[in-house]
Amino acid sequence: MPIETMIRKLRQHSELPNEDIEALRSVVASVKSLPGDSPIVREGELSTHCCVILSGFAYRSKVSENGKRQILSFHIAGDMPDLHGLPLKRMDHDLTTLSEARLGFIDHNALERILATRPALARALWRESLVDAALFRQWIVNLGTRSASGRMAYLIAELRQRLGAMGMVANEQFDFPITQSKLADALGLSVVHVNRILQRFRTEGILDLKRRVVTLGDLEKIVQLGGFDSLED
Amino acid sequence: MPIETMIRKLRQHSELPNEDIEALRSVVASVKSLPGDSPIVREGELSTHCCVILSGFAYRSKVSENGKRQILSFHIAGDMPDLHGLPLKRMDHDLTTLSEARLGFIDHNALERILATRPALARALWRESLVDAALFRQWIVNLGTRSASGRMAYLIAELRQRLGAMGMVANEQFDFPITQSKLADALGLSVVHVNRILQRFRTEGILDLKRRVVTLGDLEKIVQLGGFDSLED
DNA sequence: CGATATATTGACAGGAGTCAAAGAGGGTGG
DNA sequence: CCACCCTCTTTGACTCCTGTCAATATATCG
């Protein structure tokens, strides 16, 4: 039951009685597999349920008036990328699968019912959404203060850490099924420039991103370039 | 009682019984005036209370490992910029006054006590922190997709809207006690370039930022440059 | 009135974008 | 199993936006 990954994640920041965990587990109504690039929710929609990523990847994005798309964040197994839809309802951005993904869906009404009698669980979900906000802040720092290659290195370091915490990094290698054009949209760079950075990283043995797999070459260098502080999982 | 501004803001997104409002009002223990550039909380600290801005401005910032400071957001009267410290405790960034400001402080323990019996209020605060997160997302889009002058225009348009909603814009003019160097840190630009953009805006009659006051010249142009969608308050 | 912070200028360098074309990879259908 | 197509990646040439450095002017404040 890979819903355990989400529970493990919640437990990293919140102590929860077993009954709350059980209640949460029981409220996951349906599980669906979606191919890559499928919209999960769109900006402007009112959400009636939220999802847990059971496997695969998803990303959140927003298009600005000048037509450019900005990718706000990437999400991995265990994440609940549209939790904020529970209190806010109206989505302010899109949520899309990056690769084929298995998603668990939780109906808002059902979730509200169990939260009503379980304040600790409600608090845990609040906390979860605040951790999400903290990642956005990090991303602002990344976009605002670093050079193109620093941004790229930071992204990889952040992913390595989050995937590592979920046990999804092996042999300094992990899955990341992304195109350079999406990388460009996430980092605020042009595709061409992303390509050049990746090539430089490759020839300098820093890392290799090929065929949807990242191979870490020189972790020290990545962390240093990206100014990523905690090397620990 | 300028704590009303905060209550008005909460009510914009949440229906709250009068007793909850009263409880919230009563929990603001002390009010303090701080001069500009005073730290309110620092990154790494554990917060024991949170604050409401009663008047003046504050900003949140984070310094990245390369030494550059990134300003994450600006805050105005009615905002609770460190609400997230209630569930998360450890601050991941600094909070500082921009100008002289009056702050109301709320003790976490006292707040927790009233939240325990007032789920609607707890939910309103959760929502408030999600609105905050949505602003961060907007800011990511701003940094990632717009040119330097677009970013500047967006910042001004966003401020105009938020201040307008609080009734703090008169004659297309509002207070914004900021230096160009802080603007640079917020927009991810160099001071020199910020200066040039402001001059261009000035000579082209788009807007004028001088002596800590913004005078809007051509609102249409600002909104268009910044790609800001809702002109309405 | 001097001292310090902030704003303004100019000259120059370089990182990142744009445009346009050519290769590679991965599917798909015959 | 190969030909074809479509998407993604890679290249090269060129432009220009934004940063850096360093000096000067202007505000602000005690």
pLDDT of the residue at B134? 97
Q: Please tell me whether any atom of strand D lies within 7 Å of the Cβ of B186.
A: no
pLDDT of the residue at A232? 43
- Distance (Å, whole) CA A175 – CA A25: 27
pLDDT of the residue at A228? 75
**Residues of B in Cβ contact (< 8 Å) with A145:** 64, 66, 68-70, 188
Chain C footprint bases within 7 A of protein beta carbons = 5-11, 15-20, 25-26
Residue percentage of chain B with pLDDT more than 90: 89
Interface contact flag, A87 B141, Cβ < 8 Å: no
**CA–C1' distance A78–C25 (Å)?**
32
Amino acid letter for position A118:
R
- Distance (Å, whole) CA B183 – CA B173: 18
Nearest CA among A33, A169, A45 for reference residue A105:
A33
Residue stretches of chain A with pLDDT short of 50: 231-233
CA of B146 vs chain A CAs: smallest distance (Å)? 8
Q: Please tell me whether any atom of strand D lies within 7 Å of the Cβ of B193.
A: yes
- Distance (Å, whole) CA B26 – CA B29: 7
Amino acid letter for position B69:
R
- Pairing mode of beta strands A28-34, B207-210: unpaired
Nearest CA among B86, B34, B96 for reference residue B63:
B96
Domain boundaries, chain B: 4-139, 148-226
With contact defined as beta carbons under 8 Å apart, do B76 and B57 qualify? yes
Chain D footprint bases within 7 A of protein beta carbons = 7-13, 17-22, 27-28
Residue stretches of chain B with pLDDT short of 70: 1, 229-233
Fold (topology level) of B148-226: Arc Repressor Mutant, subunit A (1.10.10)
- Distance (Å, whole) CA B5 – CA B103: 12
Phi, psi at residue B32, to the nearest 5°? -135, 150
pLDDT of the residue at B114? 96
List Cβ neighbours of B58 (8 Å cut-off, separation of 6 or more).
B40, B74, B75, B79, B81, B95, B96, B97, B98, B101
- Distance (Å, whole) CA B61 – CA B71: 4
CB < 8 Å & 24+ apart, contacts of A229-232: A229/B65, A230/A161
pLDDT of the residue at A78? 94
**CA–C1' distance B121–D29 (Å)?**
45
pLDDT of the residue at B2? 74
CATH of domain B4-139: 2.60.120.10
pLDDT of the residue at B228? 75
pLDDT of the residue at B231? 41
CB < 8 Å & 24+ apart, contacts of B171-176: B172/B215, B172/B216, B172/B217, B172/B219, B173/B213, B173/B214, B173/B215, B173/B216, B174/B213, B174/B214, B175/B99, B175/B212, B175/B213, B175/B214, B176/B57, B176/B209, B176/B212, B176/B213, B176/B214
Which residues of B touch chain A, with CB atoms under 8 Å apart? 13, 60, 62, 64-66, 68-70, 72, 84, 87-88, 92-93, 116, 119, 122-123, 126-127, 129-134, 136-137, 139-146, 150, 185-188, 227-229
Interface contact flag, A143 B141, Cβ < 8 Å: no
Q: Please tell me whether any atom of strand D lies within 7 Å of the Cβ of A99.
A: no
Q: Please tell me whether any atom of strand C lies within 7 Å of the Cβ of B196.
A: yes
Q: Please tell me whether any atom of strand C lies within 7 Å of the Cβ of B179.
A: yes
List Cβ neighbours of A178 (8 Å cut-off, separation of 6 or more).
A57, A74, A98, A209, A212
List Cβ neighbours of B167 (8 Å cut-off, separation of 6 or more).
none
**Residues of A in Cβ contact (< 8 Å) with B228:** 65
Q: Please tell me whether any atom of strand D lies within 7 Å of the Cβ of A195.
A: yes
CA dihedral B203, B209, B215, B218 (to 10 degrees): 40
pLDDT of the residue at B3? 85
Per-residue HEC secondary structure of chain A comes to CCCHHHHHHHHHHCCCCHHHHHHHHHCEEEEEEECCCCEEECCCCECCEEEEEEECCEEEEEECCCCCEEEEEEECCCCCCCCCHHHHCECCCEEEECCCEEEEEEEHHHHHHHHHCCHHHHHHHHHHHHHHHHHHHHHHHHHHHCCHHHHHHHHHHHHHHHHHHCCCCECCEEECCCCHHHHHHHHCCCHHHHHHHHHHHHHCCCEEEECCEEEECCHHHHHHHHCCCCCCC
CA of A155 vs chain B CAs: smallest distance (Å)? 14
pLDDT of the residue at A28? 86
**What residue of A is the nearest CA neighbor of B118?**
A119
